[in-house]
Amino acid sequence: MSTPLAILGIFGDAIDFIFNAREARTGGAEVGGLGEFASLTGKHLLVTVAAVGLASLVALPLGLYLGHKRRGGFLAVSVSNVGRAVPSLVLIALFIAFLGVGFANVALALALLAIPPILTNAYVGVTQVDRDVIDAAVGQGLTDGQVMRQIELPLALPLIFGGLRTSVVNVIATATIAPIAGVVTLGDPIISQSVYGDAGKLAAAIVVALLAVVAEVGLGAAQRAVTPAPLRGTPGATRRGRFFVKTAGKGLSTS
Amino acid sequence: MSGALGSIPLLAQGGEGFVRNRESGSGASCVSDDGVCPAWIVDHFDRYMEPLGRHVLLTVVALAIGFSISFTLALLAHRRRWLIAPVVQLTGILYTIPSLALFFLLLPITGRGFLTAEIALVSYTLLIIFRNVVTGLDGVPSDVVDAARGMGLNDRQVLWRVEIPLALPEIAAGLRIAATTTVGLASLAFFAGAGGLGDPIYADLNFKSNVLVAGGLCVLLAIALDLLVLAVQRLLTPWTRAVPA
């Protein structure tokens, strides 16, 4: 190998694979290169956005409403517990066996994985709004709907974003196994390795890992940006830890 | 092309032992239709026991190692607060890397098999358990610690006799999340050549009976471990049981 990347051995070869196309091991078509990885990343993000979008449509209104009514805490917590107990591979395999392969089915399966963190965080985010603040708002004549939109939603935003972040990172990770259900994503070079070779497999692993870390860091920044300044004092409290600790500590011990 | 390139073994072909026996007497048409076949499930249930055993082993070893590391780190960080941020950041990055990607990133270094799977599985438990132990220890009322000091307990005694027992519900909660998460991630360990219930699932994705049994065992294992940790926690913290909800 003539590139300076050669000193990195197989990892160097994998990085080379990301930037430069080469002939497939089976001959014929070119594989690898920035063009192919950009396209695979695009497809990966497309299925991620579809799944998280679908999950948000269901989980956000439900979580906000249940939180507003301060009811259904059991539901919010149960959903997150059940969600964790069903492994992503099992969920996708059940979809393949019972509903078949394809983009819609995979997006639906991934959406089911994305719902629990979004639902739980929206619920917890709203219920943790100080009662006095809501009483003051009601006293000033705000209607139910106004309280939800103008008081609860803004104050719950940091946690809502935390839930979205958890879901996006989970779905990016799980979309890697989507090729087993016939949906091409960045997992394709990993799973169809006969075409891409070992370097392609490793290259895809590197890109997926980077994508997940970038999503985590990027959404973390977005989360801080939507957090009202006075609430920013306690880093960690508004972060993902809330999802872990709250849902577990509170919910599980009473179940 | 470097020689190292050829050293990554091929992807797990998964379960040669899981080729379907289509001539298995009653319900043969159900099997060839990929259906849910109670007779087939009963006849072939024993073939899931080895993957289940592997799955339990993968999970329990990962939890034991992960707990030892994160508990130690949390105790250190409890007295030296500056440690918390770097540990959370480092374990957070590990937690973020998709498991499938981590398996393949580790393959050239540690090769296929149990070790590679365990490194990945352990790394995912760290953030969860560390966070909950730190949160649990922080949640101990300072009055209680003061009272314990006033009664003459030294730092070590305060930690082991007062702070850790009071933090147990939070610690157990972290362990339960780690347990269910690890069961799920271990279902992908077959990609690293470490077996587990993912092996039979992947070997025949279209066969409803197969997916249902192997997937069902995964879910039951997650629930069983969850309840087991809960039961141990209830035993160790009798005072939490009397509190009305």
Phi-psi region of B46 (alpha: psi -120 to 50; beta: other; left: phi over 0): alpha
> Does residue A9 lie in a domain region?
no
**A7 part of contact set with chain B, CB < 8 Å:** no
CATH code, domain with A113:
1.10.3720.10
Task: List pLDDT tens digits, range A210-250.
Answer: 999 999 999 989 888 888 777 775 544 444 443 343 333 33
Q: How far apart are CA B155 and CA B148, in angstroms?
A: 10
Give the up-direction half-sphere exposure of residue A29: CA atoms within 13 A in the CB hemisphere: 8
Per the domain annotation, does A180 fall within a domain? Answer: yes
pLDDT at A253: 28
pLDDT, tens only, B131-161 = 999 999 999 999 999 999 999 999 999 999 9
Could you give the number of structural domains in chain A?
A: 1
Per-residue pLDDT, A174: 92
Q: How far apart are CA A254 and CA B242, in angstroms?
A: 12
Separation between Cα atoms, residue A207 and residue A187, nearest integer Å? 10
Per-residue pLDDT at B204? 84
CB within 8 Å of B154: residues ≥ 6 apart: none
With CB atoms and an 8 Å threshold, state whether A245 touches B104. Answer: no
Amino acid type, A249: G
Q: What is the mean pLDDT of chain B?
A: 85
For residue B226, list chain A residues with Cβ-Cβ distance below 8 A. 81, 85, 252
| Least confident window among A223-237, B129-143, B185-199, B206-220 | A223-237
Q: Is residue A184 part of a domain?
A: yes
In a domain, A20, yes or no: no
The alpha-carbon gap from B223 to the nearest alpha carbon of chain A, in Å, equals: 7
The size of chain A, in residues, is 255
For domain B45-235, the CATH superfamily is MetI-like (1.10.3720.10)
Reported as type and span, the H/E element at residue A22 is strand A21-23
The identity of residue A150, as a single letter, is Q
pLDDT per residue, tens digit, chain A (255 aa), is 445 555 567 788 888 878 777 777 666 667 777 778 888 999 999 999 999 999 999 999 999 999 988 888 788 878 887 888 888 899 999 999 888 888 999 999 999 999 999 999 999 999 988 889 999 999 999 998 899 888 899 889 989 999 999 999 999 999 999 998 888 899 888 887 667 777 888 888 999 999 999 999 999 898 888 887 777 755 444 444 433 433 333 332 222
Find the domain containing A229 and state its range: 29-254
3-state DSSP assignment of residue A192: coil
A10 in a structural domain: no
Is A202 within 8 Å of B105 when comparing Cβ atoms?
yes
Sole residue written with tokens 């159900």 = B30
Amino acid at A238: T
**H/E element holding B32?**
helix B28-32
Amino acid at position B96, single letter:
T
Taking the C-alpha atoms of residue B172 and residue B70, their distance in angstroms, rounded to an integer, is 13
B216, burial (CB in 10 Å: exposed 0-12, middle 13-18, buried 19+): middle
Residue A82 confidence (pLDDT): 81
Q: Is the pLDDT of residue B189 over 60?
A: yes
Please check whether residue A1 lies inside any domain of the structure: no
